[in-house]
Amino acid sequence: MSFFKRLKDKLIGNPTEEEKVAEIIEEEAAEQKQDEATEPAQIEAIVDENEKAEEVSVTEATSETEIPVASEDQGQQDQQEEVQEVAIVEEPVKEKKPSAWSITQKFKAGLEKTRNSFTSKVNDLVARYRKVDEDFFEELEDLLLQADVGFETVMELMDKLRFEVQRKNIKDTSGIQTIISEKLVEIYEQGEEDLIELNMQPKGELTVILFVGVNGVGKTTTIGKLAHRLKSQGKTVVLAAGDTFRAGAIDQLQVWGDRVGCEVIKQSEGSDPAAVMYDAIRAAKNRNADVLICDTAGRLQNKVNLMNELEKVHRVISREVPNAPHEVLLALDATTGQNALVQAQTFKEATNVTGIVLTKLDGTAKGGIVLAIRNKLHIPVKFVGLGEKMDDLQPFDAERYVYGLFAEGLDKELQNSED
């Protein structure tokens, strides 16, 4: 499937299904309004009937014939209340599933700073160079390096672009952004699928997610947002306050726990993080929780201590829950650029990192760090932070990410391809 085809499918989703959902929502809204409008009339009718019954003496036979009518009215009212209750329960579920277009727009808005810095320069480059030659490639290479794409990734991309231009005998720069986008997606995915899926355990079993990362990268905030995301999927989530050394870390996690409605298992500051994990696992099991998310300390001053501490935490978790932790997610601050890559290398040596959560991607003009991390460390980026709102933590999507980088240029080329 071509890049344009996949991109279009993700941008608009399935129109047929969206139309069906829209029709269902409209029908339910109309029925609810109708019920709300008819209910007062029914109540007034019942009141009038009762008042007439008090004023006029009626026979026992008449009273007996009226009782079924009243019960029927009551039964209809009960059925209407049940319908309303069902609608009230189902409505939030629909709101929790954003459309394909709204998700794509989050990537577009979140990557605005990178796009304004990087893509505007690419557009200027394309405008200045009518032909694709070596000078064009050299300037493009400089722009990619400035966007923190990473030296190895840039070299691989340039080789792929040169080969593609030669293979297709491309002479001018029109449509070059499409080729760049396709090759960036290819480099990121590297033939692998389902990179963003969390290793969730079957229903009835506890899934343990361990968060690691240095202080100040937004780790605790990300834990809260992930807990909110999992709760919106109907899962019971417990949080473990394992960052017992940073002042205020436990209180910060408690605030997030209160905000999203998750219990936080904690001890006093300075406690042994492994002991906190032990208590948290026992508590999660006793409460039949689906997911336990564990916070950890983020000190890098002494790598030996960090490795020993994480090893001890990992040992306690795996002893209490076989094959756990099921995910080790490393939180990285996208605004730190190449420093994030250094942090990723350090934590990869200290523990078996299974995925990256790249925070504050909306706050940097160098969003190319996503590609550098993936290509150099071979660790998938599973989530990205695209804003301050609760639902701005989104599963990473390579095609939406590339669209966010080249939105305006791709929109034009997509329109031209349809014309």
Mean pLDDT (whole number) for 39-66: 44
**pLDDT in the model for residue 125:** 86
Per-residue confidence (pLDDT) for residue 147, from 0 to 100: 80
The model carries a pTM of 0.73
Mean pLDDT along residues 151-171: 87
Task: Tell me what pLDDT residue 193 has.
Answer: 58
96 has a pLDDT exceeding 60: no
**89, pLDDT greater than 90:** no
Looking at the predicted structure, is the pLDDT value of residue 365 above 50?
yes
Tens digits of residue pLDDT in 313-323: 999 999 999 99
pLDDT over 60 (residue 29): no
Nearest-angstrom CA–CA distance, 311 and 325: 12
Given a cut of 70, is residue 362 above it in pLDDT?
yes
Q: pLDDT grade, residue 416 (50/70/90)?
A: low
Lowest mean pLDDT among 85-89, 117-121, 198-202, 208-212: 85-89
H-helix or E-strand spanning residue 341: helix 338-350
Give the pLDDT confidence score for residue 24 in this predicted structure: 46
Tell me what pLDDT residue 179 has: 84
Give the per-residue pLDDT at 7: 65
**How many C-beta neighbours within 10 Å does residue 319 have?**
11
For residue 11, the model assigns a pLDDT of 61
Find out whether 303 and 313 touch, Cβ atoms under 8 Å: no
How confident is the model at residue 321, as a pLDDT?
95
pLDDT at 110 over 60: yes
Q: Is the pLDDT of residue 37 over 50?
A: no
Average pLDDT estimate for 19-35: 48
Mean pLDDT over residues 241-250, rounded?
A: 89
Structure tokens at 345: 């290398």
pLDDT above 90 covers a percentage of the chain that reads: 26
Mean pLDDT of the chain: 76
Sign of CA dihedral 230, 232, 235, 236: positive
Q: What is the pLDDT of residue 397?
A: 83
**Cβ neighbour number for residue 192 with a 10 Å cutoff:** 9
DSSP designation for 215: T
- Tally Cβ neighbours within 10 Å of residue 3: 20
Confidence at 285, pLDDT banded by 50, 70, 90: very high
Residue 88 confidence (pLDDT): 41
Q: Are 414 and 178 in contact (CB under 8 A)?
A: no
Nearest residue to 110 via CA among 397, 373, 309, 377? 397
Long-range contacts of 401-404 (CB under 8 A, 24+ apart): 401/107, 401/111, 401/188, 401/367, 401/370, 402/181, 402/184, 402/185, 403/7, 403/11, 403/104, 403/107, 403/108, 403/181, 404/107, 404/108, 404/110, 404/111, 404/114, 404/115, 404/367
- Give the model confidence (pLDDT) of 372-414 as tens digits: 888 778 888 899 988 888 888 989 888 888 877 777 666 666 6
Q: Phi first, then psi: what are they for 323, rounded to 5°?
A: 70, 10
- pLDDT confidence of residue 150: 80
**pLDDT, average across residues 286-307:** 82
Query: Does position 52 have pLDDT exceeding 50, yes or no?
Result: no
Strand-pair partners of 130: none
73 or 19: whose pLDDT is higher? 73
Confidence of residue 360 (pLDDT cuts 50, 70, 90): confident
Please state the rounded mean pLDDT for residues 245-267.
93
pLDDT per position as a tens digit, 191-225: 555 567 899 999 999 999 999 988 888 899 999 99
Q: What is the pLDDT of residue 40?
A: 46
pLDDT at residue number 235? 95
Which band of pLDDT confidence, cut at 50, 70 and 90, is reported for residue 227? very high
